[in-house]
Chain A
């Protein structure tokens, strides 16, 4: 993956706007968060292959980046994004990694379901 270039990611967000898409949205502290530091509260959430369509989407911030997608009845929001998959032409694959390179957050959009 490559470090996010906001203008390139914005171009890809615009390209998927208005389409029926599958979303994978995920955030995790890692299962060992509390094992390594008992003051940490381990938490993880993902939703995979839910269907969405957004009328408006944008990336903002100075890195790590935030993305907001406005749907007919609500919003998708993700903060802490650092990388994107440059070779994906049909899909948008964004992720945020911490200083150890571990995944903290992922936001993925695709016209086809994710495996």
Chain B
């Protein structure tokens, strides 16, 4: 069942994929392999990264970033990550890190709704609201869901949401979309490494000591829940 679905997902040719996530590096673990696969098949991918992650606590060891320089450093890391994944269209609407849940919903929904109208994506990737741990993740997913729900039913793209909360399967069941990303593990690992202020590559991936099998087991699958909209 899983294998069959995996094959379907991997071969599905989307018209345009829109990724909406709140922080530079959110793309690297959850959706990087999926996105690189779409880009490789020639599907245009737009990534709207809502903040610059300027409130992040990882500053490098020893620290090479400061509160003043971090936004710019993370912007460059994000651009490098997008190059690795084949994302040609990166949007940075400039919302403030950690503040999405306090932002005027009309501003958030307007920014995302504008992208939906402009790009008319067939697939949107985001966080599953309420099951994404960080308040920014939840607020991002909630805004995407509101903006998509505001479209007429026949114009709504499919929304595949990433859930990471503990016990999320108790509430929303198992993921219904499982993507085998072993073919795009190279770009995915390059995207992770691009965020060098946030991840100490050695701590994450050893010093090249992981075997190919271990890397595939750890990073080779991406899981989504199709968001179900009411009528």
Contacts and interface: CB of A to CB of B under 8 A. Distances in A.
Interface of A: 56-58, 60-61, 66, 68-70, 74-75, 77
Contacts of A69: 102
Interface residues of B, number: 8
A70 B99 contact: yes
Of the listed residues B98, B101, B102, B103, the one surrounded by the most CB atoms of chain A closer than 10 A to its CB is B102
B143 to A, nearest CB: 14
Contacts of B99: 68, 70, 75, 77
10 nearest CB pairs, A to B:
A68-B102, A75-B99, A60-B101, A58-B102, A68-B99, A75-B96, A56-B104, A77-B98, A70-B102, A77-B99
27 contacts: A56-B102, A56-B104, A57-B102, A58-B101, A58-B102, A60-B101, A60-B102, A60-B135, A61-B135, A66-B101, A66-B135, A68-B98, A68-B99, A68-B101, A68-B102, A69-B102, A70-B99, A70-B102, A70-B103, A70-B104, A74-B96, A75-B96, A75-B99, A75-B102, A77-B98, A77-B99, A77-B102
A70 B99 CA distance: 9
Contacts of B98: 68, 77
Secondary structure call for the B interface = loop
A107 to B, nearest CB: 13
Nearest to A74: B96
B77 to A, nearest CB: 23
Interface string B68-103: 000000000000000000000000000010110111
A74 B97 CA distance: 11
Contacts of A60: 101-102, 135
Nearest to B55: A77
Contacts of B101: 58, 60, 66, 68
B72 to A, nearest CB: 18
A75 B96 CA distance: 8
A74 B55 CA distance: 13
Interface in B102-136: 102-104, 135
